[in-house]
């Protein structure tokens, strides 16, 4: 009968440890590379936006970002992103020709929505007035 030692020779243990160390090093390097990659999303600051000369395309993009972030509700987003009519009436009853406004043309949305709110309130359209109040609250931030 042969009796063997239960101890492992130190050579085998060192070999196993060296194999594990080699395997762990590339993983650690990959993890350190991944932790160094940082994506920065620029914050949109509405206060820097001049709503008295913004294009409809920029307004829609800004409204979409704020809707996605949960800062405005769906009705406000829909109102901000809708197409401008060909003609509109201002608060003094004058007809405004908006047919020349394109997606890239600067437009005074602050005055437009303020006039539309005054008209909605004078006509008695409470639902439209509430939506326009939220639009103006977004614009005046």
Domain ranges of the chain: 50-139
Separation in Å, CA 37 to CA 27, 34, 40, 42, 96: 16, 5, 10, 16, 51
CA distance 109 to 67: 18
- pTM over 0.75, yes/no: no
Question: By three-state DSSP, how is residue 121 classified?
Answer: helix
pLDDT tens sequence for the chain (141 residues): 566 656 655 555 555 555 555 555 555 555 555 555 555 555 554 456 788 889 999 999 999 999 999 999 999 999 999 999 999 998 888 999 999 999 999 999 999 999 999 999 999 999 999 999 999 999 986
């Amino acid at each position: 009968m042969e009796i063997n030692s239960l101890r492992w020779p130190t050579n085998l243990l060192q070999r196993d440890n060296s194999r594990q160390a080699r395997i762990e090093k590339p993983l650690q390097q990959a993890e350190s590379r991944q932790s160094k990659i940082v994506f920065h999303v620029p914050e949109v600051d509405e206060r820097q936006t001049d709503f008295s000369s913004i294009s409809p395309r920029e307004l829609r993009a800004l409204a979409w970002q704020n809707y996605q972030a949960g800062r405005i509700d769906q009705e406000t987003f829909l109102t901000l992103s809708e197409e401008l009519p060909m003609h509109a009436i201002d608060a003094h009853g004058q007809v405004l020709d908006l047919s020349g406004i394109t997606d890239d043309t600067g437009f005074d949305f602050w005055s437009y929505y303020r006039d539309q709110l005054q008209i909605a309130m004078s006509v008695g359209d409470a639902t439209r007035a509430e939506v326009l109040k939220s639009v103006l609250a977004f614009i005046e931030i």
